Amino acid sequence: MESKRDENRRNLRKRLIDAAEARISEKGLRGLKARDVTTDAGCALGALYNAVEDLDQLILLVNSRTLARLGDALRNAVDVNAAPADKMQALGKAYVDFALANPRHWTAIFFHRLPEGREVPDWHKEEHAQLIEQLIEPLSKMRPDLGPVELRLRAGTLFAAVHGVVQLSLHGRFVGTPPELLADEVKALIDAMSRGTHLANLTK
């Protein structure tokens, strides 16, 4: 049975992650301060360092949650019986919707950097990989010409491409694609890429 100590510890950890998550969603990563988080979580400043290694780890935990939520959003978006092309489009739309609905959490995933020399833990990298995994199945149907290695590579590229479009649009850098048009642009992107050279070959 879980001891009271363990329960408290787990509890505090959760409250801290909740508080950090809320802060990030309001102020962004830069607005996250140890004092604010502990105040919001209802504990003393020092308690943070009992529950969690340091602030960076707390951010990692929030990002981990965000990735899980994003993963769920993607999973819920696809109809298992749908055509592959529709699955791809559904995934893209879900991704865009998620980013627009959670701009600061989404940004935090990509902008958080650990201090020099500290490596992103493997369990967290794994969470990244699992997201991309969801593209593989529908993409493999659309691109039977690709071997497993190329397929995985291409899925990563597609993911990264969509990511780039959403990022530059969200931060208004270079491209000022307004949010209303974002979905359409991503749609065109996915359409072109998941078809790829496949259809093009048919025309030769």
Interacting residues toward a copy of itself by CB under 8 A: 30, 110-111, 113, 116, 128-129, 131-132, 153-154, 156-157, 159-165, 167-169, 173-177, 181, 185-186, 188-189, 191-193, 195-197, 199-200, 202-203
* Nearer Cβ to a copy of itself (37/158): 158
Tell me if 117 contacts DNA by CB under 7 A: no
For the chain, give the number of residues.
204
- 93-124: string of b/e by CB count within 10 Å (b at 16+)? bbbbebbeebbbbbbbbeebeeeeeeeeeeee
* Nearer Cβ to DNA (114/153): 114
Tell me 43's DSSP state.
S
Q: Taking CB under 7 A as the criterion, which residues in 24-43 touch DNA?
A: 32-35, 43
Q: Which long-range contacts (CB under 8 A, 24 or more apart) does 179-184 make?
A: 179/100, 182/96, 182/100, 183/93, 183/96, 183/97
Q: Choosing among DNA, a copy of itself, none, which partner's interface includes residue 9 (Cβ < 5 to 8 Å by kind)?
A: DNA
**Are 29 and 108 spatial neighbours (Cβ–Cβ below 8 Å)?**
yes
- Minimum CB separation of residue 116 from DNA in Å reads 10
Distance between CA atoms of 81 and 119, rounded to whole angstroms? 40
Distance between CA atoms of 188 and 29, rounded to whole angstroms? 31
Tell me if 8 contacts DNA by CB under 7 A: yes
- Minimum CB separation of residue 4 from DNA in Å reads 3
Stretch that binds DNA, among 44-52, 61-69, 140-148, 184-192 (CB under 7 A): 44-52
Whole-angstrom CA distances from 64 to 122, 153, 199, 200 are 12, 23, 38, 39
Q: Choosing among a copy of itself, DNA, none, which partner's interface includes residue 164 (Cβ < 5 to 8 Å by kind)?
A: a copy of itself
State which of residues 49, 110, 153, 192 lies at the interface with DNA (CB under 7 A): 49
Distance between CA atoms of 117 and 139, rounded to whole angstroms? 36
* Nearer Cβ to DNA (124/163): 124
Residues that bind DNA (CB under 7 A): 3-6, 8-9, 12, 32-35, 43-51, 54-56
